Amino acid sequence: MEQRTPGGGGGGGHVVETGHQQQHNTPTPTSSVNHRPPQSQHHHHHHHHFCRTDINHKSSSRVHFLAQFVCVHQQQRPHFRPGFNFPHISSATLPMFTRIVLALFSLAFLVAMCTAMERRNPSDYDQSRVPSNLRPISWLLGIWRSEHDGKAMFPTIPKFTFGEQISIALSDSRMSGPPAFNYTAFAWSAHDQDELHSENGYITVDGGKVMLTTVRITVTAEGSFVTVEEGPVSSSHIRFKLVDIGRISFSRDLPVHDLVREWTLMDHNHFEARLDMETLTHGMQEHTMNIYTRVL
């Protein structure tokens, strides 16, 4: 059987083998609507779990290296929403005192991260600073947001709507290797604002191809993984095809066989993202779509 791990328009939810009965990992309705904006939701524990875990050795060495590198880099340059939740730390294997200490430490670190976010430098989105190799895709640069217009569908899950914010910014000039854009995205349920997933990675251009490499952290940590996707350079449209996928060592094996991610610039202020997916039991078909508005 299969289980959905929630996801948004940037990368979509994915399907996991679960055993003998089908379960849907959908957001749990709450008794009252959470009136805080989506930015106030944060799940630092997902990042924490992933960075402590090795990639499955079946993955390629470049994926393994990238996962470790992105974890370290994202700890230095946080892009997540403020807020606090620590459900995975409630494991029965941890003493109560340890859980409390870890939760308090996480909260203190979270406050520092959120303060750093407020001081984000607008020059990170300055078109005049784009390196020459990235100019063909400079139209991606900016912050793009959709409050609740995302749509997710697949034969194994109920249809649902979501919001998502994508940030594509200039990376630190002190980084080694080819110049790259820093890519971050987080999605939330349109129903109750609960976070569904976050993605962190890099976009670069090499040899006429655009490469997107992401670390995906889902609300169910077992569904987290790393992808490498490539597509031809274009002035307003990129079609990424899955090249490689790596999974964290405690992950259930995802029956995702292929992904196609399409990004299209509709006009200066609107950006469309679509994701098609092929799994062990279903052929390639649309999984998520969303239209974003430029906010920076």
**In sequence order, what are the residues at sequence separation of 6 or more whose Cβ sits closer than 8 angstroms to the Cβ of residue 126?**
170
Inter-residue contact 55 to 246 (CB < 8 Å): yes
Q: Is residue 220 part of a domain?
A: yes
Q: What is the pLDDT of residue 230?
A: 97
Segments forming the whole domain that contains residue 232: 2-18+36-294
Inter-residue contact 25 to 4 (CB < 8 Å): yes
- Domain of 140, CATH number, reads 2.40.128.20
Q: Is residue 27 part of a domain?
A: no
Q: Provide the token pair at 244.
A: 């490689």
Q: How far apart are CA 8 and CA 150, in angstroms?
A: 7
Q: Is residue 24 part of a domain?
A: no
First to last CA, the chain: 42
Inter-residue contact 294 to 142 (CB < 8 Å): yes
Q: Is residue 52 part of a domain?
A: yes
Q: Which residues of the chain have pLDDT under 70?
A: 1-94, 96-120, 220-223, 248-254
Q: Which helix (H) or strand (E) holds 106?
A: helix 96-118
The model's pLDDT over 194-219, given as tens digits with 9 standing for 90+, comes to 999 899 999 999 988 999 998 887 77
Q: What is the pLDDT of residue 222?
A: 58
Q: Is residue 30 part of a domain?
A: no
Q: What is the pLDDT of residue 247?
A: 74
The model's pLDDT over 227-272, given as tens digits with 9 standing for 90+, comes to 999 999 989 999 999 999 887 666 665 577 899 999 999 999 999 9
Amino acid in position 295? V
The CA distances from residue 37 to 53, 122, 148, 163, 204, in Å, are 31, 22, 12, 11, 32
- Evaluated on CA atoms 268, 270, 136, 186, the torsion sign reads positive
The CA distances from residue 117 to 78, 79, 180, in Å, are 7, 7, 20
Q: Provide the token pair at 187.
A: 């999605």
Q: Tokens 């940590």 sit at which residue?
A: 221
Q: Is residue 26 part of a domain?
A: no
Q: What is the pLDDT of residue 101?
A: 63
Number of domains in the chain: 1
Q: What is the pLDDT of residue 105?
A: 61
Q: What is the pLDDT of residue 97?
A: 66
Q: Is residue 153 part of a domain?
A: yes
Q: What is the pLDDT of residue 141?
A: 97
**In sequence order, what are the residues at sequence separation of 6 or more whose Cβ sits closer than 8 angstroms to the Cβ of residue 158?**
24, 26
Q: Is residue 152 part of a domain?
A: yes
Q: What is the pLDDT of residue 41?
A: 42
Q: How many CB atoms lie within 10 A of CB 72?
A: 10
Closest CA to 224 of 61, 113, 63, 40: 63
Q: What is the pLDDT of residue 152?
A: 96
Q: What is the pLDDT of residue 84?
A: 33
Measured N-to-C along each axis, helices 44-51 and 61-76 cross at an angle, to the nearest 10 degrees, of 140
CB under 8 Å, gap of 24 or more: what pairs does 178-184 form? Answer: 178/133, 178/204, 178/205, 178/206, 179/131, 179/133, 179/134, 179/204, 180/134, 180/204, 181/134, 181/137, 181/140, 181/141, 182/77, 182/124, 183/212, 183/214, 184/74, 184/79
Q: How many CB atoms lie within 10 A of CB 211?
A: 19
